[in-house]
Amino acid sequence: MTKSLVRRVTAGLALAALIAAPAAAQTRLTLADAIKRATDHSEALAIARAGESRADADLQRARSARMPQVSFAGTYERTLASEFSSALASTGPVCAPLSVDATRPLADRLAEIERAAGCGGIGSSFNFGDLPFGQRNVYRASLSFAQALYSGGRIAAQQTQADLSRRNATLATTSAEAQLTLEVTRAFYDAALSDRLAAIAESGHAQASAAYDQTKISFDAGRQPEFELLRAQVARDNQRPLMIRRRADRDIAYLRLRQLLELPATDALVLDIDLDQDGSAPPALFAEALTRDRAATATADRASVQQAQVAVQVREAGVQIARADRLPSIGLSSSLSPVGYPSGGVFPSFGDFRTNWTLGATVQMPIFTGQRLRANELSARADLAEAEARLKQARELSELDAATARQDLTAAEAVWEASAGTIQQAERAYQIAELRNREGLSTQLELSDSRLSLQMAQANRAQAARDLQVARARVALQPNLPVGAR
């Protein structure tokens, strides 16, 4: 069967599928469209971007430690019962208050004192209502101010950590985008490959069926023995399980692609790709990146290596914070607190407020902590040593991963070039075998071998195109991919 006939059979099967499901929506998809849609709907990217927002908040929180801290608090208290109620209940003296006239004789002045003492007139002019004890209504307002003056480098180290964490979050998002792009590219070409393999299997089944029909006609005419008819029937029936398996693989590949793109299962995807020709040039998305020197992305430019470097710097700042805990911290604070006691009614007037205003400085320095600070510093230094070891490990793995990706691409290019003329040769061989079988010059075994060789050549060509494009994508995305991403 010629290549044009294979394409006609494939087109006919696709048309039959469309006729069978006229209500299903169709989505024609290119690789660029697939990557864009996956980027817009990816949960992994949403998580990474949430990490960036969290890092922004942590950075703002770290910066706020350098700024003055001003707060306000206001309270209202209603006293229902108080031990000072009896004192506050006194409304005034029961007699005239003490009034001593210094010009009068001593006896008169003593008599005045005895009179006032006897009726409670001494001290009765004092207004207990002016005291804060047990007042029915109390209003308090407090305006507080605090400013850190010296922290032994702790605040600077915390801000450095926050800056590095923000950079790490950006690298994580970039890495997630690259990983998603590679996953979508692989799923896209896997679906295209499964399409092609299903078409090859269907074409092989059609060829075997046609050969069986031809052999049966020859058998009925007495030109072919029963053994050849049985071989033709077995060859046809052997093609059917392969065709069913390929169709199932195609359904699974399309399901995976739909999941990545958040597409409903009812939409019929049509991939805008031809694997027989697609390997000749890289996808436009990766063409520019593939022109770079492949060795330049081995270590320093890798996102994973940069993340390991950031982790080392974060641990170094952690050591500085642990050391700063041993140093004194100095702060300035002030508090302005008006307190209002209403002289009449529930709400105070402006004159009912009294003011408390303080200004102070605080110095804190640990003297004995039971080796807690030393333990914190040892833990921070251990974290730093671990981060440095992980950085070295990341560099080594990155170099190995980059070399592996380059070798995979070189091998994929070689396989693609080697499969260039195989299909045409296999098609020509099958045409000759088909003609020889039809004329009675060969057996079904020769025809089956030619058909199998043709199917293998077509499958190898499609597989080579898929592997080549995925290898190109992996090399192009290498700077931002996690180490070991396949």
Q: Which residues contact 114 (CB under 8 A, 6 or more apart)?
A: none
What is residue 13's predicted lDDT score, i.e. its pLDDT?
A: 44
Instruction: Compute the CA torsion angle 301, 305, 311, 317 (nearest 10 deg).
Output: -50
Burial zone of 120 (CB within 10 Å; 0-12 exposed, 13-18 middle, 19+ buried): middle
Q: How far apart are CA 93 and CA 248, in angstroms?
A: 105
pLDDT in single tens digits along all 486 residues of the chain: 444 444 444 444 443 443 344 445 567 889 999 999 999 999 999 999 999 999 999 999 999 999 999 999 999 988 887 776 665 555 555 567 777 777 778 777 777 777 776 666 665 455 555 556 667 888 999 999 999 999 999 999 999 999 999 999 999 999 999 999 999 999 999 999 999 999 989 988 888 888 888 888 888 888 778 888 888 888 888 889 999 999 999 999 999 999 999 888 777 888 888 887 766 788 888 888 888 655 555 566 788 999 999 999 999 999 999 999 999 999 999 999 998 888 777 788 777 888 899 999 999 999 998 999 999 999 999 999 999 999 999 999 988 988 898 899 999 999 998 888 788 888 888 788 888 877 777 777 777 888 888 888 888 889 999 999 999 999 999 889 888 766
3-state SS class at 362: strand
What is residue 110's predicted lDDT score, i.e. its pLDDT?
A: 76
What is residue 71's predicted lDDT score, i.e. its pLDDT?
A: 95
Q: How far apart are CA 96 and CA 73, in angstroms?
A: 45
What is residue 147's predicted lDDT score, i.e. its pLDDT?
A: 94
Angle at 482 between CA 407 and CA 417, to 5 degrees: 25
Q: How far apart are CA 34 and CA 252, in angstroms?
A: 17
Which domains does the chain carry? 3-41+187-299+399-480 (1.20.1600.10)
Q: List the end-to-end C-alpha distance of the chain, in Å, as a whole number.
A: 37
Strands 268-271 and 26-29: parallel
Q: Which residues contact 208 (CB under 8 A, 6 or more apart)?
A: 232, 235, 236, 238, 239, 448, 451
pTM: 0.75
What is residue 17's predicted lDDT score, i.e. its pLDDT?
A: 44
Amino acid (1-letter code) at residue 160: T
Q: In 206-315, at which residue ranges do the beta strands (DSSP E only) sit?
A: 268-271
Strands 329-340 and 353-364: antiparallel
Q: How far apart are CA 352 and CA 346, in angstroms?
A: 12
